[in-house]
Amino acid sequence: MAGEDAAAAWVAERLPLHALVFDADASFGRGGEGGLLVALELAWVSARAVATGALIPAAGAGKLLFVAPRPDAGAHAGAARSALENLARTLSVEWARYEITAVAICPGPRTTDEEIATLVCFLLSEAGGYFTGCRFDLGEVAGAPTRARPALI
C-alpha cells in the first residue's frame, strides 16, 4: 500500500501528465525471481497511478509505454518481456474506453538507447496513437539492420 500511495503522490505532484514511459530495466536489475517480481509490481503500480490519477480524469488520449529489459539482462528476462507485453495488451483493451493506448517495447541485445528513444518519441507523437496492444521487437533480423517490428494483436 505504501508503494501505491507514493506513486499516487508522485503523479499528483506532476499533473498534468499525458503518458507514462516505464523502463523496467532498472527495477529488473540482474534479474532472477526477485527482479521479475519488483519490475512487474512497479510497472502495474505506476500504470495504475498514472491512469487513475491523471489520464482517466483528464478525459483525453493518454499513453502507456513499457520498455522491457533486454533478453540477456538476466534470469527471467524473457518472462519479464512477455509479462510487460501481456500487461500492455490487457490495458489496451481495458482502458480503451478512456482513450488510453498501451504498448510494450522489447529491445534486442544490441539495440542502442538512441533507437529506443526514437521509437518512444514516435509512439508519444500523435501518429503513435494508432498503435495499442502492440509489442515492438527491436533488434537484428537475419543480419538486417536494427528496426522496429510491431507484433499486432
Which run of H or of E encompasses 12? Answer: helix 2-13
Comparing CA positions, the residue from 10, 29, 30 lying closest to residue 20 is 10
Q: What is the pTM of this model?
A: 0.88
Instruction: Give the CATH architecture of domain 2-151.
Output: 3-Layer(aba) Sandwich (3.40)
| Domain ranges (residues) in the chain | 2-151
Residue found by looking up cell 539495440 in the block = 111
> Residue 153: its pLDDT value, please?
47
DSSP 75: B
Q: pLDDT (tens digit, 0 to 9) for every residue of the chain, 153 residues total?
A: 678 899 999 999 999 999 999 999 999 999 999 999 999 999 999 999 999 999 999 988 899 999 999 999 999 999 999 999 999 999 999 999 999 999 999 999 999 999 999 999 999 999 999 999 999 999 855 444 545 555 554
Q: What is the dihedral of CA 16, 105, 37, 96, to 10 degrees?
A: 50
Cell of 7: 506513486
